[in-house]
Structure 1
Amino acid sequence: MKKIPGAKKPELTELGRVSDRISFLYLEHAKLNRRDSAITVIDDRGEVFVPAAMINVLMLGPGVDITHRAMELLGDTGTSVLWVGERGVRQYAHGRALTHSSRLLETQAKLVSNVRSRVAVARKMYQMRFPNEDVSDLTMQALRGKEGSRVRRIYRDWSTRSGVEWSGREYDPEDFNAGTPVNQALTAAHQALYGLSYSVICALGASPGLGFVHTGHDLAFVYDFADLYKAEVTIPIAFTIAAESNEDDDIGRKTRLAVRDAFVDGKIVKRMVKDLKFLLNADEVTEETDLLNLWDDKLGLQKNGVSYREFKDNDQE
């Protein structure tokens, strides 16, 4: 048998921890291949090598050609791959994440399927935004109203601080350039935050679709989770970039670079891992990287890979 060239597939224990990885990398108009344990990126400026195991999420924009071998490496190292539109505005597809365990996912499903536990998790999210207030008795309607007031106040405050005129959040998903500079910056910043949130959620084994505040969308929990960091990270950056930019600047690129730096400086990935575990009561979940069992309604978990004999109900008697 012909030996496949390149480095061997790494064990899960050999890979970098999610909290220690680079937040995200956005690429467009480039050719991606693999050389051993690195992704090669070739564009009109030359060739660079990117260690796949040290990236949380790789955002692939228009004009990217990627080989099967490169995708194989990204899958083996648990790097989330997002295919996005121009300047990262829309997400079209994604790849498999790091964990092979469903424990956190099962915990999330239980929490979101019970009204009381779902409201409790939602209140945790809002409590993180209002650390000096007690929201434990507020209804979801009251929480939404309180959060709406907070966000409107943040937009007004940053408009005053930056000198950037603000008339509301308006953008066209089909036309990035149609928005005002600050709305363009907000779109680019939020998309980067969504990508990183998605990567952390999936890498730890949770579902991006099982939201507690947002619902009915395959990225509902991503929107829940990302909302925890917008006021601190993406909104200030967007207004700052809009204030400093002129008509000839690539606002999308400038914003992504600023957001990337803020993710690193603020250790956002480490915080996201900690926050996600807190929200989903992950301390109660046993961490297992690769365990496959068979479910039984009476006997509990049974071993996988066993040839079981035919069973009849009266065998228990």
Structure 2
Amino acid sequence: MSGAIPPGSQDVAKASDRLTFVYLERCIVHRDSNALTATDDRGTVHIPMAMIGALLLGPGTRITHAAMSVIGAAGASVIWVGEGSVRCYAAGRPLARSTRLLEAQARAFSSQKARLRIAREMYEMRFPDEDVSHLTMQQLRGREGARVRKIYAAESQRTSVDWVRRDYKAGDIADSDPVNQALSSANSCLYGVIAAVIHSLGMAPGLGFVHVGHDLSFVYDVADLFKAETTIPAAFDVVASGSVDPVNDVRRLLRDRLMAEGVMERAVKILRDLFLDGATAKEEPLIMYDEALSIWSGRSDNRLSSGQNYG
């Protein structure tokens, strides 16, 4: 076949080492060798896709088949962003060729005891000064609601931005006050970044431990771990600055903060720590690259080599 040879799994950056996201709008996205190009009436920009976690495509964007092929080979996520809502329509093949993390996630999801343990550990990450080891899910939700309200109130006091409540209408970001518009826009970008990490590690975005019933439930679970230090203060800061375009200004501010806070690297570590024991977690390089396909033996987690006839 003609054209550039697509990058192999060892030729692209690990999820923890990537840039967070690139947002594009009103342009044509194409491919030049193993890079993406974004072209509008001002010219063409080259984007090294192997270093990007998520590509956010805004209004007026067109993308070619060739561009999608290099995105898939790079194991990145593509999210179409429209008026305050995010829909993850496409994702490249995971960087992980092992299903180790996916299997660990599925085992924890299918056990009520393990599922509650994961939920508690997530809450402990958000509120480290509280002991939640004995709380039920109902009690955890109550604690979370009270703490999140305090976070909004503290940001309002810090920035002198009026705050009433979280208020937004899905699909109509303009139907809310400026700080809620900024929050919706910022959260959309964060969801795209977290979706990229989850896809890259080969995990299931729909198997959530706090959120349920949605194909991005686990994305919302993990994103909640970072909102208090990223999207919420960014939204209040943008409005406090007097921005007349909070939806777009907060995206630019958040992009810098996600990089400065190392959100992608930290998200990878959190997922490994939640689902892998210490010895297995140290084998991360093995998780990222090709592993031999196996056949389940029918007993516990024993496996047989594939490519053989066992008849």
Report the TM-score range of the alignment, normalised by the length of the smaller protein. over 0.9
Contact in 1 for aligned 2:156/2:236 (Cα 8 Å): yes
Say which SS state the counterpart of residue 54 (structure 2) adopts: strand
- Measure the CA separation in 2 of the matches of 1:61 and 1:109: 33
Deviation at 1:100, TM superposition (A): 2.4
**Mapping for residues 142-181 of structure 1, pairs under 5 Å:** 142-181=139-178
* Distance across 1 between alignment mates of 2:266 and 2:116: 22
- Counterpart of 1:89? 85
The amino acid across from 2:218 in the alignment is F
| Equivalent position of 2:242 in the other structure | 245
Q: Could you give the per-residue CA deviations for residues 33-89 of structure 1, whole angstroms, max 9, x where no partner exists? A: 111121010012211000000100001122211111111111111111112323x52
Can you give the 5+ residue segments of structure 1 that lack an aligned partner in the other structure?
A: 310-317
Query: Percent sequence identity over matched residues?
Result: 45
Structure ranking higher on relative contact order (CA contacts 8 Å, 6+ apart): 2
CA shift, 1:298, in A, is: 4.5
Do 1:26 and 1:59's aligned partners in 2 also have CA atoms closer than 8 Å?
A: yes
The residue that corresponds to 2:21 in the other structure is 24
Match of 1:296 in 2: 297
Say yes or no: does 1:192 pair with 2:189. yes
What CA deviation, in whole Å up to 9, does each residue of 1:252-302 have, x standing for no partner?
211111110001111111111111111222643653433322223159423
8 Å contact 1:189–1:238 — kept in the other structure?
A: yes
Q: Which moved more, 1:97-106 or 1:67-76?
A: 97-106
Q: C-alpha distance in 1, partners of 2:97/2:64?
A: 24
Contact 2:161 2:239 in 1 (8 A): yes
Q: Which residue of 1 aligns with 2:273?
A: 278
Secondary structure (helix, strand or coil) at the match of 1:176 reads: coil
TM-score (norm 2): 0.92
Counterparts of 2:25 and 2:71, CA distance in 1: 17
Q: 1:207 is matched by which residue type in structure 2?
A: A
Query: What is the aligned partner in structure 1 of residue 3 from structure 2?
Result: 5
**1:48-59 correspondence runs (5 A):** 48-59=45-56
What RMSD, in angstroms, separates the aligned Cα atoms of the two structures? Answer: 1.7
Equivalence for 1:139: 136
Match of 2:308 in 1: 306
SS in structure 2 at match of 1:138: coil
Moved >6 Å (runs of 4+): none
- Amino acid in structure 2 at the alignment position of 1:297: G
Shift of 1:17: 1.5
Moved more, 114-123 or 97-106: 97-106
How far apart are the structure 2 equivalents of 1:54 and 1:281?
Answer: 26
Query: What SS does the corresponding residue of 1:146 show, helix, strand or coil?
Result: helix
User: Which deviates more, 224-233 or 75-84?
Assistant: 75-84
